[in-house]
Structure 1
């Protein structure tokens, strides 16, 4: 996929011709992987909505927390299955908008950030609650569903006009406007590129709003971003074992299980 991203300006005409020819297969007849399979990195924004900061009883947000990394091996695609690894820990859904870097980026200015964005997708930042480092709690295999596709940046008139929603078993949990981000997409890309070099295909997720909650065996999660797409995954705890770390009683205070029945 990195090669496609790097050469997209040359490939775009050929792809349009293929689409007009009626070739390909129907959406329902294929199994989708994550639209970017092996990015050099997945960067994520903690506490980038004020309402999420309040629900987690946090005293700080992205201005002081910076960003964190998720393992690229945690990616799965639309229609995939999230595997919960432990039977004695709480796991939550976090619906997010993410974007894909289109060309090498280092020390990018905020006003130039849009030039470095290839496109946008929907991401679920599946999270184990507790006191372990974020990169540990969010990097288990299957903990980064992404998809169903990438919508190129030129197809989105205004990112701030996008809306994010997330349902668990048909019940709406999260409903927010992307304009409510503390750090918007340009600010986020500029900051991340000041810390590390970004490469085509790298994924940056913008953070989750209020409404995170527990997920468990048999659940169905749907996350949707207007103008981008709808991502759906299932959840299983088959094969779950006992957690050997003791982070379950420390860390931010999550919303109570009672709120979600």
Structure 2
């Protein structure tokens, strides 16, 4: 048995259905309240998850203030054009090595947080997000899943104006505005998944299906990404990897996000995040 971990108002909690259980309370004060500490003890989380029926729920997830399950990753990576159909729709050549950029950790928000738009050219990108549990260097692909503490649902929101204001493009800046990294609702351990290499991803905007794909369609699968990154930088607990998005992004359809739009992102066996778009200001791409 595995576990489902949530961040409830900054406190780590285990989840069963819509019930959550404060980790500090059910562990008798043994485990820290910080989700970043909790992920370093996955075996203890699994043990406690098996005993949830012995405890009274602290509350209901649907009524709680839920933050990103990984609130402060040391490093946050993202991968571009990792689905062939997405590369094709963007007119990009098939990458021969992972196209990696960073999303600043400050952009991460919870599963129901508003996405703050600053231009008329903001885009959605549904993604599986992988979280490192056991760090390492030069990790072999065959061992990579053993270094994953869990996975979650993510959105790699992109301001295409900021992204393409310069040559070469600013993938990092255009995708790191505050609120541009919704995550959640829970971190799910790998052993809770029926098939960690084949998860269905669906993204809807205002109920209209925009993206539908499977992680089995990745050009570079999760073990390859982890191995590749670990040969460059030592991976540490809490590092996140946005693994790429299927085809159907707004830029290729002329369907950019607007004030009041609601993005619903679902990955099977993990959950759903729902984020409302709010236009807050205008991005100024030029400097004086």
Give the TM-score taking structure 1 as reference length: 0.88
Instruction: Give the Cα–Cα distance (whole angstroms) in 2 for the partners of residues 100 and 20 of structure 1.
Output: 29
* Alignment check: 8 A CA contact 2:42 2:149 kept: no
CA distance in 2: counterparts of 1:38 and 1:19, whole angstroms: 30
Corresponding residue for residue 237 of structure 1: 279
Larger relative contact order, structure 1 or 2 (CA cutoff 8 Å, min sep 6): 1
What pairs up with 1:14-163 in 2 under 5 angstroms?
A: 14-61=48-95, 63-64=96-97, 66-86=99-119, 89-129=120-160, 130-131=163-164, 132-163=169-200
User: d(CA) in 2 for partners of 1:233 and 1:125?
Assistant: 12
1:217 aligns with 2:236: no
Structure 1's unaligned 5+ residue stretches are 247-261
Bigger share in strand: 2
1:111 partner SS: helix
In the alignment, which of 160, 167, 181 is matched to residue 218 of structure 2? 181
Matched length: 242
Cα distance between partner residues in 1 of 2:86 and 2:243: 13
SS at match of 1:200: coil
**Structure 2 runs not aligned, ≥5 long:** 1-34, 251-255
Query: CA shift at 1:194, angstroms?
Result: 1.1
The residue aligned with 1:252 is none
Q: Deviations over 1:224-249 (max 9, x none)?
A: 111111111110012x1242339xxx
Whole-angstrom CA distance in 1 between matches of 2:283 and 2:213: 35
Alpha-carbon displacement from aligned partner over 1:120-157 (angstroms, at most 9, x marks no partner): 10000001114231001000000000101111011113
Superposition deviation, residue 23 in structure 1: 2.1
Give me the whole-angstrom Cα distance separating, in 1, the residues matched to 2:40 and 2:125. 30
User: 2 CA distance for matches of 1:156 and 1:121?
Assistant: 11
- Cα distance in 2 for partners of 1:205, 1:171 equals 23
In structure 2, the residue corresponding to 1:212 is in which secondary structure? coil
More helix by share: 1
CA 155–51 in structure 1, closer or farther in 2 if over 3 Å, else same: same
**CA 1:242–1:37: 2 relative to 1, 3 Å:** closer
Relative to structure 1, the CA distance from residue 242 to residue 144 in structure 2 (aligned partners, 3 Å threshold; closer, same or farther) is closer
For normalisation by structure 2, the TM-score amounts to: 0.80
Deviations 1:10-59 (A, max 9, x none): 34323432454232201221011000100001111100001001111113
